[in-house]
Amino acid sequence: MKINQDLCIDCGECEAYCPVEAIKRVGGNSNYIDQELCVECGVCYNSKICAVDAIEREELQWPRILRSVFSDVISPNKPTGIPGRGTEEMKTNDVTLRYKPGRVGIGLEFGRPGVGAYLRDVEKMAMALASKGIPFEKDNPMYKIMQDPSTGKFMPEVLNERVLSAIIEIELPLSRLKEVLQAIVGAESQIDTVFSLSVMSIMEGGNVPRVMEIMREVGLKPYPNGKTNVGLGRPRKELN
């Protein structure tokens, strides 16, 4: 994103809209967008807050286009070959059975809420998880920017890209949940941003109380609210 300096009237209305404080103003000069901080989420542009249409989209090249892929939720079909920002994880588990009885998923979302994340920070956690021999979800876009999924190492050219949100997804046996959550909590001091953590489990088999217990054992405080797949999904062949 950029602000056309010839059009900007220096009203400052756009500044507060930026989720990562990338819109700046120095002295009496026009507003400008700090390209290092900007995550290309498009909130300033999409909000239509600029009275003189001075906020403009730029055509992005690799690897900067990753910022838009991971941050701009309403501009689909970016030409990167990377589909979206995450997967449907448990939201379609009633038809995919990705998380079976006795197994759980973990989602780690970096940068949200409201802070942003450099991919170099996401890589640190990916490498910590890889060291435990935990495979990454192959359909998740983070997998596509890994140079070596067995080590969690990312392509070097993407490390300094900054995004509003990046998600790591893994799936593992319930028996390893405690050890892996401990590894995540142990690696968090290396991360220079926030991340939101979640655990996914099928209700069948009565695993959920044990999942909650393990989360508490490692010092997490499970929220009383969350997402529930209510089990109404059916394969089309069963309905026809």
Partner 1 sequence: MTHTLHRRGSEEDLKHEYLVFALAAKGINWDGSEARFKRAFQICLKYHPLNYGNTYTGNIYNATAEAVADGMKPNAGFIALFDNEQAVVEILKELKQENLGQCIVVSGLFDHVHQCCRNAGLEPHTVNISGGIRGRTDKLAPEPILEINTMCGHALVSFNLIKKMVEEIRAGGITALDAAKKMALNCHCGMFNCDRAARILTSLATENQTAGAAAS
Site for partner 1 in 158-177 (CB under 8 A): 164-165, 167, 169
Q: Which is nearer to partner 1, 54 or 71 (CB)?
A: 71
CB of 110 to partner 1, least distance (A): 8
CB of 83 to partner 1, least distance (A): 9
Straight-line distance from the first to the last Cα atom of the chain, in angstroms, rounded to the nearest whole number: 47
Dump strand ranges (E) for 59-187: 103-110, 117-118, 146-148, 153-154, 162-163, 166-173
Of 27-35, 56-64, 83-91, 147-155, the window that binds partner 1 (rule: CB under 8 A) is 83-91
Of 29-37, 69-77, 126-134, 146-154, the window that binds partner 1 (rule: CB under 8 A) is 69-77
Q: Six-digit token pair at 5?
A: 């300096």
Considering only residues 140-159, where is the footprint of partner 1 by CB under 8 A? none
Q: Which of 16, 34, 157, 217: binder of partner 1 (CB under 8 A)?
A: 16
192 lies in the binding site for partner 1 (CB under 8 A): yes
Query: Distance of CA 198 to CAs 66, 102, 184, 230, Å?
Result: 24, 17, 12, 18
- What distance in Å separates the CA atoms of residue 68 and residue 161, rounded to the nearest whole number? 10
Q: Six-digit token pair at 81?
A: 């070959």
CB of 3 to partner 1, least distance (A): 17
Q: Is there a contact between 14 and 7 (Cβ–Cβ < 8 Å)? A: no
Q: Which of 1, 107, 119, 134: binder of partner 1 (CB under 8 A)?
A: 107
CB of 142 to partner 1, least distance (A): 11
The enclosing H or E element of 24 equals: strand 23-24
Residue whose entry in the numeric block shows the structure tokens 């759980």: 104
201 lies in the binding site for partner 1 (CB under 8 A): yes
51 lies in the binding site for partner 1 (CB under 8 A): no
- Would you call the peptide bond into 113 cis, given omega within 30 degrees of 0 as the criterion? yes
Q: Which is nearer to partner 1, 52 or 203 (CB)?
A: 203
